[in-house]
Structure 1
Amino acid sequence: MKQELYTSWHDTKIRWLLLALLCLFQAGCSLCIDFPFVLATEIQNYYNVHQQDINYLYAIYSMPNIILPFFGGIIIDKIGIRSALLIFCAFLIIGQSSCVYSAQVKDFNLLKVGMFLLGLGAEVSLLVTQGALLTKWFFGKEISLAFGIQLTFIRVGSIIAVNQLPQIYVNYGNSFVACMTYCLATILIITLSCIIETVIDYVSDRRDSNHYQSQAQLQLEQQKPVSCKDLKEFNYGFYLISISCMCGYCIFFILQLNALRMFQIRYNLTFFYQTLLYSLPYIICIILTPIIGHIVDKVGKRPYFLILSGFLTTLSMLVYSLNNDCSVQNECFNYALIGQILNGMFFSLFAPLIWPCIPICVSTNTQGTGFGVVCSMQNFGLTVFPIIVGKILIEETAIGYLHMIYFLGFIALIANISNINIYFYDRYNGNKLMSPTVKLPDYQIILEQEDEQN
């Protein structure tokens, strides 16, 4: 009798190669979808529109994702991660191509169509599909660390965008076409990385299917099919996490969407300081997010960290709500600096905490649906709230931006209530979120083979 030790690729260093490819995809995708944030002034000048229209542009991007991520999650659970990822990448290419054509013919309505199509592809592929793939390869191992690293590279993409896109715009003679073409080239490159991801995952599944026998196969066969009825089985804690995710992401991204113009109009800062302050939260996230993810894997205590993140964003809103006299250029830099540091610390703590909570709260075969529901709620907020902010900023004045901060402070209050409720719900329902990441045993199968002796 001879025994052969089998180890899945999920338990080897190959999972880190897949994470690297996933991070490349995240950075490139984020670079492209952030252009309304970092080119707000350029878009206004090029298309002769206002900041209100920039907020509507982001609302249009988020609009299809109120519903699509939920159904995208079901699609993932039905047809598989790989097929879904390639389908959504096709939407990215078509959407960015529409943005390029919009810039060529100078038609703002076509830019709206492009953003809508980018929303169809980016949110599901960036969050739902990639989140499900990351969970598949890292669940029971270094899942919070893995989420922290990939979220860091989303921020890397944002920093590249704020530094590269305005420079490309100027270097090519105030050409918005050049910026959109650069984004299209980036989309094509990350699509290639996505194809490599799917090949690695496919080969890994084929290897595993040839070796996983008996008990493992029986468990897969006994999993019930995914349906909309799964929503009734998600517990109260899951929906609290969804509300917290919606509020946290809305606060951060709506503030960043309007940050450059706010620093210019309300705080009277020069372009250098505007760009520096805009990049600062992302830089903080790059440094802290993987570290926090690793710490959470080791110690757990997720509800405590969520409450702390809510406290930090509330402090940030309080700093921004101070009504200062900024008539002298750059005099109010320190107030904006403190606000952005707190904002960066909040998001570095919040982002690697919230996503790994989802697979903890749902069953294995409904993880795609779980990610989809959370993304749907998140994009509900990112559709409705920017429209409200757009109404607040019909007149771009210092007072208008102060009222925007008051509105974001109200969202922060909802987030804090949700985070506190998450703590109490988890405390009386098994303390799953308080526990460190469970180290699952290596999935090894002993293949017994008879020695043939003649």
Structure 2
Amino acid sequence: DMKVNTAQFMALYAWYSWPNVVLCFFGGFLIDRVFGIRLGTIIFSIFVCVGQVIFALGALLNTFWVMDMGRFIFGIGGESLAVAQNTYAVSWFKGKELNLVFGLQLSMARIGSTVNMNIMGWIYLRVRDLLGYTGPSTLGLTLMIGGVTCLFSLTCALILAYLDKRAEKLLCKEQGKTGEVIKLTDVKDFSLSLWLIFVICVCYYAAVFPFIGLGKVFFIEKFKFSSQEASAINSIVYIISAPMSPVFGLLVDKLGKNIIWVLCAVITTLASHIMLAFTFWNPWIAMCLLGLAYSLLACALWPMVAFVVPEHQLGTAYGFMQSIQNLGLAIIAIAAGMILDTRGYLFLEVFFSACVCLSLIAVVMLYFVNHLTGGDLNWSAKKREKLQKVA
């Protein structure tokens, strides 16, 4: 409808990511020091709603730069909202099924992504039938209808703020007031283990999200799938992630050994990309493996941050992690669009495989750094629980 090429389409992903290169870090800092978790979550939810409305208006007006601007504003709120969500989770559940909670968070996000990938096309067709024609107006109205979920997110943020405030009174719990002074220069004091976690995060997600963004056409071109079949297989990663994330979260909670689980996830993801790049095996196998690996990595990787930074710096640490993840995603999204337009899908898959290899190297380094420094990232759950009781 908008008549854009692959590079322009992928730029929409990049515009979402660019503001978060800076704002995610400052979003975490603001949560820790200025707004607090409750007000910060509400403010970021409002940015998401406004951004989605502008994005839809850009389509209605057939003005692509307005859509870019909408994605930029949406991005200001989107990833900072994820930082607030992670900080909420650690505040409530650290030491109590934290991996399961991260799994449930991811599960809900993937349900939303799956619904979006499979329902928005249907909504578009209904709007087209109602208007009697296709074009920017049809797309814009479809996007506006999709924006209802953003209003629901804002409502949840308001309810959560009320519940958290109520719990603070009932439990006499000081929320986000540790008495510690947080400085932006604390970043230089982050441990090597934390920086390796950041590298794993950036390199891994760079090979997942841009691939899914371009995956539909890949399955149509290489495996001769129909449009409907391609949409189905492209969404299977999120479909699998929805139920499996809490299952893997519970498994990691019960067994511990977070680094080993991350290693398994990265190796499985590499195998999936190699299968898609160099074989004509049924791609459902590779995509199902990718879905399992993606779910496992999130449940094991993100909670590790809470083990290597002081609690009063969690918002800052998660914010910085989101920031550099978005820097990587913005650059990779643009690069992926350019590679696809000039070199084709085989070269693109090799590129994604190289990103996963970098992540694999970082995981191995993290294992040895953690072992040599006596870190607790790879402790069993029983050992962690035993030492917590002693403490």
TM-score interval w.r.t. the shorter chain? over 0.9
User: How far did 1:220 drift?
Assistant: 5.7
* TM-score in terms of structure 2 length: 0.92
State the Cα deviation string for residues 88-127 of structure 1 (Å, max 9, x = none).
Answer: 11111110110121122111111100111111011110x2
2:14 aligned residue (59, 77, 88): 59
Equivalence map 1:429-440=2 (5 Å): 429-436=373-380, 438=384
1:240 aligned residue (196, 219, 227): 196
Q: Determine if contact 2:18/2:327 at 8 Å carries over to the other structure.
A: yes
- Find the counterpart in structure 1 of residue 363 from structure 2: 419
1:162 aligned residue (104, 113, 117): 117
Secondary structure in 1 matching 2:25: helix
- Find the counterpart in structure 1 of residue 288 from structure 2: 341
Partners of 1:196 and 1:413 in 2: CA distance: 42
- Find the counterpart in structure 2 of residue 39 from structure 1: none
Equivalence map 1:4-83=2 (5 Å): 46-79=1-34, 80-83=36-39
1:351 aligned residue (266, 284, 298): 298
1:361 aligned residue (284, 300, 308): 308
State the Cα deviation string for residues 270-307 of structure 1 (Å, max 9, x = none).
Answer: 12211220121112212321111111111111111111
2:270 aligned residue (306, 310, 314): 314
User: How far did 1:232 drift?
Assistant: 2.0
Partners of 2:55 and 2:208 in 1: CA distance: 25
Q: Determine if contact 1:296/1:436 at 8 Å carries over to the other structure.
A: no
Question: Higher Cα Rg: structure 1 or 2?
Answer: 1
State the Cα deviation string for residues 304-360 of structure 1 (Å, max 9, x = none).
Answer: 111111110110111012165xxxxxxxxx432122112112101111111101111
- Find the counterpart in structure 2 of residue 171 from structure 1: 126
Q: Aligned letter for 1:391? A: M
User: How far did 1:207 drift?
Assistant: 2.6
Partners of 1:236 and 1:131 in 2: CA distance: 22
Secondary structure in 1 matching 2:184: coil
State the Cα deviation string for residues 198-227 of structure 1 (Å, max 9, x = none).
Answer: 111111112333xx6xxx99x966x32111
Partners of 2:3 and 2:283 in 1: CA distance: 28
Q: Aligned letter for 1:237? A: S
Are residue 117 (structure 1) and residue 73 (structure 2) matched? Answer: yes
Higher helix proportion, which one? Answer: 2
2:337 aligned residue (370, 383, 390): 390
User: How far did 1:158 drift?
Assistant: 1.0
Partners of 1:91 and 1:194 in 2: CA distance: 12
Partners of 1:435 and 1:300 in 2: CA distance: 6
- Find the counterpart in structure 2 of residue 403 from structure 1: 347
State the Cα deviation string for residues 351-399 of structure 1 (Å, max 9, x = none).
Answer: 111110111111010000010111011001111111111111225xxx6
1:181 aligned residue (129, 144, 157): 144
User: How far did 1:430 drift?
Assistant: 2.5
- Find the counterpart in structure 2 of residue 207 from structure 1: 170
Secondary structure in 1 matching 2:376: coil
Secondary structure in 2 matching 1:317: helix
Secondary structure in 2 matching 1:229: helix
Partners of 2:181 and 2:45 in 1: CA distance: 26
- Find the counterpart in structure 1 of residue 131 from structure 2: none
Partners of 2:156 and 2:168 in 1: CA distance: 18
User: How far did 1:233 drift?
Assistant: 2.0
1:146 aligned residue (96, 101, 120): 101
Partners of 2:4 and 2:279 in 1: CA distance: 28
Q: Aligned letter for 2:144? A: T
Partners of 2:337 and 2:16 in 1: CA distance: 14
Partners of 1:381 and 1:335 in 2: CA distance: 30
Structure 1 stretches of 4+ moved >3 Å: 436-441
Partners of 1:230 and 1:204 in 2: CA distance: 30
The answer for unaligned runs of 5 or more in structure 1 is 1-45, 325-333, 442-454
Secondary structure in 1 matching 2:344: helix
The answer for unaligned runs of 5 or more in structure 2 is 129-133
Are residue 194 (structure 1) and residue 150 (structure 2) matched? Answer: no
Greater shift, 257-266 or 108-117, is seen at 257-266
- Find the counterpart in structure 2 of residue 379 from structure 1: 326
User: How far did 1:265 drift?
Assistant: 2.1
Partners of 1:197 and 1:178 in 2: CA distance: 30
User: How far did 1:436 drift?
Assistant: 4.2
Partners of 2:66 and 2:305 in 1: CA distance: 36
Q: Determine if contact 1:313/1:342 at 8 Å carries over to the other structure.
A: yes
Q: Determine if contact 2:118/2:232 at 8 Å carries over to the other structure.
A: no
Q: Determine if contact 2:7/2:341 at 8 Å carries over to the other structure.
A: yes
CA RMSD of aligned residues (A): 1.8
How many corresponding residue pairs? 376
Q: Determine if contact 1:89/1:121 at 8 Å carries over to the other structure.
A: yes
Greater shift, 175-184 or 63-72, is seen at 175-184
Q: Determine if contact 2:60/2:141 at 8 Å carries over to the other structure.
A: no
- Find the counterpart in structure 2 of residue 99 from structure 1: 55
Partners of 2:263 and 2:279 in 1: CA distance: 27
- Find the counterpart in structure 1 of residue 187 from structure 2: 231
- Find the counterpart in structure 2 of residue 272 from structure 1: 228
Partners of 2:125 and 2:116 in 1: CA distance: 14
* TM-score in terms of structure 1 length: 0.80
